[in-house]
Amino acid sequence: MQEEQDFIKELLNPKTQNDAFQKLLRQYQRPLYSHIRTIVLNHDDTDDVLQNTFIKVFRNLQNFKRESKLFSWMYRIATNEAISFITSKAKRNGMTSEAFQQKQIENIKADSYFEGDEIQLKLQKAVALLPEKQQLVFKMKYFQELKYEEISEILGTSVGGLKASYFHAVKKIEEYVTRN
């Protein structure tokens, strides 16, 4: 905890800010990339959203409330940026977010940065059919392997609520994969 407090001080101090921020970038770029990618699905969009996320983090460092962890705060920003991105892209295409994501998944085999086998593809399709909240919880728990407590901090949902969401998500996925 103290280590994090010291790091936050470095991030807020103009003299040490640049070096500290570069350290932050190197530490969180991969997990945040994975998190965003599971939501927006293709690499180029993920690259855009990831950049926007870090820029937003930089701009809002002064507003960071130290009650929450740096990690949760950044993940929350990443999640919001990714969902906003999907929503506006879906809107531009005249679709709901869910319909848009399903369409993205149908085309995912053509994506040069997707090398999934049959089961991976089926799983992606099954997840895309879930309601938005369940999708998010499933992706964070299953693909990102975050703890329920961490997900709770990021999404602001209770651990109990998250467990229920995850349970329902898994059931639906299993039904889909069994049928298909």
Partner 1 sequence: MKDFKLDNHPKINSGFQVPDSYFDSFPDKVMMQLPEKESKVISIFRNKKVWITSAAAVLILALMIPFFNPSTVEEPQLDSTAIENYLSYNTNISQYELANLLDKNDLEKLETDINIEDKTIEDILISNNNFENYIID
Contact footprint for partner 1 (CB under 8 A): 14, 18, 21-22, 25-26, 29-30, 33-34, 37-38, 41, 43, 47, 50-51, 54-55, 58, 108, 113-117, 119-121, 123-124, 142-143, 170, 173-174, 177-178
In contact, 49 and 83? CB cutoff 8 Å: no
Minimum gap (Å) between residue 14 Cβ and partner 1: 7
Q: Is 37 exposed, middle or buried (0-12, 13-18, 19+ CB in 10 A)?
A: buried
Nearer to partner 1 (CB atom), residue 51 or residue 84:
51
Report d(CA 30, CA 50) in Å as an integer. 10
Q: Is 179 exposed, middle or buried (0-12, 13-18, 19+ CB in 10 A)?
A: exposed
Nearer to partner 1 (CB atom), residue 14 or residue 94:
14
Nearer to partner 1 (CB atom), residue 1 or residue 110:
110
Minimum gap (Å) between residue 117 Cβ and partner 1: 7
Minimum gap (Å) between residue 80 Cβ and partner 1: 18
Nearer to partner 1 (CB atom), residue 139 or residue 154:
139
Report d(CA 139, CA 39) in Å as an integer. 8
In contact, 134 and 169? CB cutoff 8 Å: yes
Report d(CA 173, CA 180) in Å as an integer. 10
From the centroid of its chain, how far is CA 153?
13
Minimum gap (Å) between residue 115 Cβ and partner 1: 5
Nearer to partner 1 (CB atom), residue 69 or residue 172:
172
Nearest to 64 by CA among 22, 5, 15, 19: 5
Nearer to partner 1 (CB atom), residue 116 or residue 160:
116
Minimum gap (Å) between residue 26 Cβ and partner 1: 6
Minimum gap (Å) between residue 94 Cβ and partner 1: 26
